[in-house]
Amino acid sequence: MPPTRTAKQRRYLVCPPEHFDVRYAINPWMTSLEPVDVPLAHKQWDALVSLYRELGHTVETVEPVADLPDMVFAANSALVLDGRAFGAQFHAPQRQPEAGHYRTWFEDAGFETLVPSHTCEGEGDFTPVGGFILAGTGFRTLPAAHHEAQEFFGTPTVSLHLVDPHFYHLDTALFALDDSNIAYYPGAFSNGSQTVLKKLFPDAVISTREDALAFGLNSISDGRHVVMAQDATGLMESVAAHGYEPIPVDLSEFRKAGGGAKCCTQELRG
Ligand code: ARG
């Protein structure tokens, strides 16, 4: 019998999809010729936020800004630990103005905020778990930002190399199930990084490529409930077998931009 898992109440920051669209291509998902169904995107996002509230979490919102169609992906705005925000410096010119809008929100909300000196995309590439900050590089965030985050938080940062452009952010290939364990897709990482993950997390839940491509690893867990892309059926079974409670969500419209539940959600850790 797997252990009983305990939920911890969370505080999330999200950005309403008022201006969400796919207007440029900065990852392989964005080249699909299928246009975004805007009303459907709004419905899917509303359902996600309602679900967080039903689960007892606090949800705060940042004002969306016109002509920033990816601003809905709040996870990229920072990594927040102990009430301190390590901000973003976006890789793509199209997204660079988002950083300042988010910074203003963090400062107004009373977070000590650092403006990083190197390219980094917040929780897109940073996952705190097991006493470490797991940090992705290869497509967006630079290793120099991993060092800067380590200095800022005083938490050891483990650099992991992403090698498959479909998994261009760490949070498309790995997520924290709770404070000590993760789920991930090994094929998204270099051989050395796979070995590191195996050593640090011998009991991790391993995802297939198919479930990873269904955005199953772009999930949000509160330690018990795992909000997960509905098509990642195999991964849902695996996390359930480990004692967690998967809750399927449909975010098909955001997948057209290369995003899922986690991308839409910034965790504010106090
Ligand atoms: N279109 C966005 C980009 O390529 C998607 C960001 C997804 N966010 C994430 N945390 N993985 O930057």
Nearest to 229 by CA among 27, 6, 29, 28: 29
Architecture of the domain whose range is 11-267: 5-stranded Propeller (3.75)
Residue 108 has pLDDT above 90, yes or no: yes
What would the pLDDT profile of 142-174 be if each residue is shown by its tens digit?
Answer: 999 999 999 999 999 999 999 999 999 999 999
So what's the pLDDT on residue 32?
82
Q: Kindly report the pTM of this predicted structure.
A: 0.97
So what's the pLDDT on residue 143?
98
Cβ-based burial of 237 (10 A; exposed 0-12, middle 13-18, buried ≥19): exposed
What would the pLDDT profile of 121-133 be if each residue is shown by its tens digit?
Answer: 999 999 999 999 9
Give Cα separations from 4 to 140, 242, 244 (angstroms).
37, 9, 8
Is the distance from the beta carbon of residue 138 to the nearest atom of ligand 1 less than 6 Å?
no
Phi first, then psi, for residue 84 (nearest 5°) are -120, 135
Q: Which residues are catalytic?
A: 169, 263
H helices present in the chain, as ranges: 38-54, 98-108, 143-153, 191-200, 209-213, 233-241, 252-255
Is the distance from the beta carbon of residue 98 to the nearest atom of ligand 1 less than 6 Å?
no
Which of 22, 27, 95 should be mutated for ligand 1, with most atoms under 8 A from CB?
A: 27
Is the distance from the beta carbon of residue 171 to the nearest atom of ligand 1 less than 6 Å?
yes
Is the distance from the beta carbon of residue 259 to the nearest atom of ligand 1 less than 6 Å?
yes
State the distance from the centre of ligand 1 to the C-alpha of 76, rounded, in angstroms: 7
Q: Are strands 84-86 and 112-114 parallel, antiparallel or unpaired?
A: parallel
